[in-house]
Every structure is written in C-alpha cells, then in structure tokens.
Amino acid sequence: MFVRTRDLSAHVQIAGPGGAPPLVLLHSLGTNLHVWDPQAEALAFSFRVIRPDLRGHGLTTVTPGPYSIEGMARDVLHILDAIGVIQAHVAGLSIGGLVAQSIAAQAPGRVASLILCDTAMAIPPAELWQERCVTVRSKGTEALAEGVMARWVTPGFMHTPEAEGLRAMLLRTDPEGYAGAAEAIAAADLTQSTSGLNVPALILVGEQDEATPLASAQALQAAIAGSSLEVIPAASHIPTIEKPAEVTDAIGRFLAPVAADSYEAGMAVRKQVLGDAHVQRATASVTDFDRDFQAFITRTAWGSIWTRPQLDRRTRSLLTLAMMAALGHHEEFKLHIRASRNTGATPADIADMLLQVAVYAGIPAANSAVRIAKETFGEMEQ
C-alpha cells in the first residue's frame, strides 16, 4: 500500500491480525523493507507488522538530499498517523535504528519498546559518509557495492543467494535517496536524546559487525537504562538476513508477554481480540457470584491458550468459531464473529470454515451458524 505523508508517497507493507500489537520494522541504508522479510513472516502470527520503505528507498518517494534522522523519524510517525496506529513496538536496523531512537525521543508515548539492531547513537566518521555521497551521486550505487557488501555480511556468506539479494537491493536504491540518507547519518549524534530514553529496549549486534561494532552496542546499552544486549554469533552488519532465525528468536523472546501471572497476560490478549469496550462492559458487570469464574476463563482460555505462539490469532479465531458453531453455542459464536475484525479472519475465511462444519458437524449446525454470521456481519456494517 501507499500512504501520503507530507511530501512523500510512502510505500508500506502491513501483515498480521488487525487487533494484534503493532510492530514497526525499519530497514538499513541502501536496502528496503525486504531486509526484514524473515522476521516479518514469523512475527506476523502474533503482531501487526508494519514495514515502510524509508524516504528515498524502495518504492517510497525520492526527495533531494540532505535528509535528517529527525525528519525521517517524523516520516514514520506520519505513516503511523495515516494508518491509525497510536503506539507500536519499533525495531530498526542500522540507520533504521537511528530513526527508531529519534521516534522514541520525539514521541515517547508512541513507542511501546525499542529493538535496536546493529546501530549506534552516532556512526562516524562523517567524512566516510560524505565521500560515499559524492561517489554515489556521480557513479551510482554500483561503485559502492563491493565495499558495502564486505561490511554487510561475513566472507563465508558473501556468495549465497541471500547475499545476492542484498546486493540487488543496494543496486536498485536510487543514488539520491542513498546519498540523502547517508548525509543524515553523517550529521547524526543522538547521544544526548537517547540517554534520556525511558523505554524497554533490546539491543542486537552481529558478532563480526565492523560498521557498528560491539562497542557501539554496549554504549547504547549503557545509555538506555534497563536495556538488554544480545550478540548474534557469526554475523556481520545485516544479521536479519545472515542469521534470520537467531534475530527472530531474540525479538520474539523480548516481545513475549511478560506478566505477573497468566491473568495479566490473558486480560491483555482478551482486550486485543474482543476489544476494550466489550471487556470493560464484561468487567463492569462482574459480581461476587461470577468473579472467580471470570478470573478462571481469563487465566485459562486467554492467558494460557490464546497466548501460545504455535497458532496465529487468525487460526485460533477460526478454530473457536468452528467449535462454537458445531456445539451450538450461538452467543459465543456471535461474540467471536465480532472479534474476527481484530484477528484477521475474514468473512470469506469464515464462510469456508462453515462448509467444513457442515461436513463434519452437520448441516443444521452450520445452517444456524451461517444465519447468525450473516446477521452479525450486517450489524457490524451499520
């Protein structure tokens, strides 16, 4: 999709259930949103994954440089405004990590957590970036390819299909877009603003990264109180591609619900699936008679089952609807039809699922469910 923001037509890909927690993934210099492909595929089971092409990159508008990190951060905030996202987890790779830090500094209430991958508060020397700007504007990104690739991946990974994909991203990056963003890196020093951040943060760094080495990651960890640091073994500057499983696992562990008990985690998921308004009404009507029962279903159904990572929310939604239809639990069936707008289960998915119900649970059960679903979808459209 494309989103109009200020002077940009920004290219954005969104995947995952609409009601899931938003997760923004920001790419590195000279690449595009596809540098996060492995992570997006896995994390979209549990998160609404939002990947923009940054200014001057991918399919987003190329504007004349120089750019600034603060301006690129505002670009992302405008994208979130346009798609209705109030708060999100924000992950950034290299320049994307600089942009993520700036988003958190400019709009701290909009960042639930930070994941800073192979980045720093400043990436000197400025002269290196200025030289690259001159080269890329006069000769194109091909003139940089060999040197850049040597910093992006380890020698043993250089001739893999994935590395060739990274090279293709670089060669297809507009020279002015690359130069404008490189000028932003040259001018950036976020030491003061990042040192004032108060947000949960995970810092990742490739073991063999020479562009933003372990020392840069350690400085970030020292600057952001309470942050954690993980080193990705046998990886260089773009571990999202070189070591995708390790990066995905680290992010997944960091973002997994951390609750005092299953009740807290269950209540969070219950609100995401059923909606805040429904849960508030249900909670307000609790009495001494059903207080223990409500706590029981929140801990078990929502806190112990819906939080499990093996099945995505769309699949759990369809399974729940199929069982409610088969068992004739029409009130719960209607409730979960309404919740489908938050889980990613579409009317077409549900219609197909009810054919399955008809075969395995009987036509009368499916017929009643079809009628209720049609009525409920009609009410939802009003």
Q: What would the mean pLDDT of 42-71 be, rounded to a whole number?
A: 95
- Mean of pLDDT values over 249-263: 77
311-337: average pLDDT: 94
* Distances, alpha carbon 222 to alpha carbons 93, 113, 144, 252, in Å: 19, 16, 33, 23
pLDDT reading at 76 higher than 80: yes
Least confident of 85-94, 259-268, 345-354: 259-268
Instruction: Place 206 in a pLDDT band, splitting at 50, 70 and 90.
Output: very high
Where along the chain do the CATH 3.40.50.1820 domains lie?
2-255
Tokens, residue 50: 């939002």
- Give CA–CA dist 44/16, Å, rounded: 4
Pseudo-torsion of CA 195, 180, 13, 76, nearest 10°? 40
* Mean pLDDT computed over 330-353: 94
Whether residue 265 has pLDDT greater than 60 = yes
Q: What is the pLDDT of residues 226-242, one digit of tens each?
A: 999 999 999 999 999 99
Q: How large a percentage of the chain has pLDDT more than 90?
A: 84
Residues 6+ apart with CB under 8 A from 169: 30, 31, 32, 34, 35
Quickly state the pLDDT bin for 24 (edges 50, 70, 90): very high
Question: What is the per-residue pLDDT for 173?
Answer: 97
In this prediction, residue 181 carries a pLDDT of: 98
| Residues belonging to the chain | 382
- Say if residue 259's pLDDT is above 50: no
CATH fold label, 262-381? AhpD-like (1.20.1290)
318, 321, 326, 330: CA torsion to nearest 10: -170
What per-residue confidence (pLDDT) applies to 316?
A: 92
Q: pLDDT tens for residues 27-39?
A: 999 999 999 999 9
Question: At 373, is the pLDDT very low, low, confident or very high (cuts 50, 70, 90)?
Answer: very high
Distance, CA of 43 to CA of 255 (rounded, Å): 10
Range list for CATH 1.20.1290.10 in the chain: 262-381
Q: What is the pLDDT of residue 257?
A: 59
Q: For the residues 199-204, what does the mean pLDDT come to? A: 96
**pLDDT at residue number 119:** 98
pTM of the model: 0.79
Q: Could you give the CA distance from residue 233 to residue 161 in angstroms, rounded to a whole number?
A: 20
User: What pLDDT, on the 0 to 100 scale, is given for residue 2?
Assistant: 96
Mean pLDDT of the residues in the chain:
94
pLDDT digits (tens, 9 = 90+) for 90-139: 999 999 999 999 999 999 999 999 999 999 999 999 999 999 999 999 99
What confidence tens digit (pLDDT) does each residue in 140-150 have? 999 999 999 99
pLDDT at residue 19, rounded to an integer: 74
Q: Give the strand order in the sheet containing 22-26.
A: 2-5, 8-15, 48-52, 22-26, 88-93, 111-117, 201-206, 228-232
- Please write down the HEC assignment for all residues of the chain: CEEEECCEEEEEEEECCCCCCEEEEECCCCCCHHHHHHHHHHHCCCCEEEEECCCCCCCCCCCCCCCCHHHHHHHHHHHHHHCCCCCEEEEEECHHHHHHHHHHHHCHHHEEEEEEECCCCCCCCHHHHHHHHHHHHHHCHHHHHHHHHHHHCCHHHCCCHHHHHHHHHHHCCCHHHHHHHHHHHHHCCCHHHHHCCCCCEEEEEECCCCCCCHHHHHHHHHHCCCCEEEEECCCCCCHHHHCHHHHHHHHHHHHCCCCCCHHHHHHHHHHHHHCHHHHHHHHHCCCCCCHHHHHHHHHHHHHHHCCCCCCCHHHHHHHHHHHHHHHCCHHHHHHHHHHHHHHCCCHHHHHHHHHHHHHHHCHHHHHHHHHHHHHHHHHHHC
Mean pLDDT (whole number) for 319-343 = 95
Mean pLDDT of 298-312: 86
- Residue 45 CA to residue 47 CA, distance in Å, equals 6
**Mean pLDDT to the nearest integer, 7-22:** 90
The pLDDT tens digits for 267-295 are 988 998 998 888 899 889 999 999 999 99
| Euclidean distance between CA atoms 372 and 19, whole angstroms | 22
CATH fold of 2-255: Rossmann fold (3.40.50)
Q: How far apart, in whole angstroms, are the C-alpha atoms of residue 14 and residue 355?
A: 29
Neighbours of 347 (CB within 10 A): 14
